[in-house]
Structures are given as structure tokens and as C-alpha cells.
Amino acid sequence: QVQLVQSGAEVKKPGSSVKVSCKASGGTFNNYAVNWVRQAPGQGLEWVGGIIPMFDTTRYAAKFQGRVSLSADDFMTTAYMALSGLSSEDTAVYYCATVAGGRFRYWGQGTLVIVSS
Amino acid sequence: DIQMTQSPSSLSASVGDRVTITCQASQDITNSLNWYQQKPGKAPKLLIYAASNLETGVPSRFSGSGSVTHFTFTISSLQPEDIATYYCQHYDNLPYTFGQGTKLEIK
């Protein structure tokens, strides 16, 4: 089974950018889409967007369009989420997850992004 | 966007109780609905997919039912380790959206 390992916590200034990685251990993203979900402190789950690495196709939630960019390496073992124009409202735990048939089956451990001046 | 309305937002029950959570979609999503369990500080875990299918390795006390716009998640006999927040999520189309969550506590 695929295990997803995400990069470590980040502290960023307002207006800056962050890039979070998600590495597949024990496999590749060959047969999956990789989606990103975030969770603000004490809040629910919010879909950010997804990428199908095999076809390099992306979809983003309207709320993040223009600020978020999803990518994957050529070996389809690591996926990335870049988010720009950070504000305090972007403070959250960001999760990657493999998705097949709409099922978010395997999840990373989450990456805490704190935006603070 | 499809809105997912989950109820109740919190629930207190005793060990051994039958627990039910509902999720209503703002439009017909056929059976394109999943249920997740999230424990504090952890990633969500898929329990039920396609409204009523138990994910591999998930205890049989968990079940789901429903279709179109109305869905139900049930724990047949609550165990202490079931303390968590539960979310529904539709995948009928993009954007995927989640319910607001149900926080389950032991009475």
C-alpha cells in the first residue's frame, strides 16, 4: 500500500509563498490522482485541488484559483502544492491524499503552515 | 457547488449505544458519498465509500446507507476508540465538498 510522507511545518510571512511536498513511499502515483485538503485550526475539511500526475492535469477549487499550483515530479513519486499570496486565513494543516473513484484512500500525515507577521 | 449538511454537529453517547449521523446533499449525488473518521492530530481515515461499502479493514460495526440526497452513517455499538470527528464527502463532481463534521464524545 502507498504511504504518503509530507514535508515539515512552515512559518511564513503574509504575502509570501509556501511549497509543500508529498512523497509516495513504496509506490508511485501512477494509478492515482493526488488531491490536497486543508484544515484550519478547529475547523472542518476543505478541498484545495487535485492533480493526475500521469496526465499532468490539474483542477483547483475556485477559492484558490490563481494562488495555488499543483505539480508532480517526472517519476510520479512526489507531488507538490504551492500556495502564494499567503494571509493569516491560510494558516492550516495541509494534507495530500491519493484519490481513486472519488475515494480519498491514503493520506499524508499533514503539514502545518502558519502565516504570521 | 454541492453543499453537504451534516447533523448533528456534536453527539454524546455511551459505550454500546447505537449512533447515527446524517448527511444531506443539496442536489442528487446518487451514491457518490464517502464517510471519514478523524482523530485529534491525525489525518482522516476512509471508513465507508459509495454510500454503503465498508473500506477494507474497517470494523463491521460501522455502516452507511442512503442515496440521492439523504445519507446515514451508523455505529452499531459504540466503542471507546470510536471517539473522533466524522465527516461525509461527496464526489459526484468537482469541487469535492465535505460536511462540517460531527464530533462524537463518550457520555
Q: Average pLDDT of A90-114?
A: 96
Q: Average pLDDT of A70-89?
A: 94
Q: Do A47 and B91 touch (CB under 8 A)?
A: no
Write down the pLDDT at residue A1. Answer: 76
- B64 CB within 8 Å of a chain A CB: no
Asked if B104 contacts B84 with a C-beta cutoff of 8 angstroms, the reply is yes
CA distance B94 to B92: 7
Asked whether residue A2 carries a pLDDT value surpassing 90, the answer given is no
Asked whether residue A27 carries a pLDDT value surpassing 90, the answer given is no
Asked whether residue A74 carries a pLDDT value surpassing 90, the answer given is no
Asked if B56 contacts B75 with a C-beta cutoff of 8 angstroms, the reply is no
The chain A residues in contact with chain B (CB within 8 A) are 35, 37, 44-47, 50, 59, 61-62, 95, 97, 101-105, 107-110
What does the pLDDT look like over B36-92, one tens digit per residue?
A: 999 999 999 999 999 999 999 999 999 999 999 999 999 999 999 999 999 999 999
Give the C-alpha distances (Å, rounded to integers) separating A116 from A21, A58, A63, A113.
21, 29, 21, 10
Query: Which pairs count as long-range contacts for B43-48, CB under 8 Å and 24+ apart, including other chains?
Result: B43/A95, B43/A97, B43/A107, B43/A108, B43/A109, B43/A110, B44/A37, B44/A45, B44/A95, B44/A104, B44/A107, B44/B87, B45/A107, B46/A103, B46/A104, B46/A105, B47/B73, B47/B86, B48/B73
How many helices and strands, by DSSP H and E, does chain B display? 0, 11
- B34 CB within 8 Å of a chain A CB: yes
Rounded mean pLDDT of chain A? 95
- B73 CB within 8 Å of a chain A CB: no
Write down the pLDDT at residue B51. Answer: 98
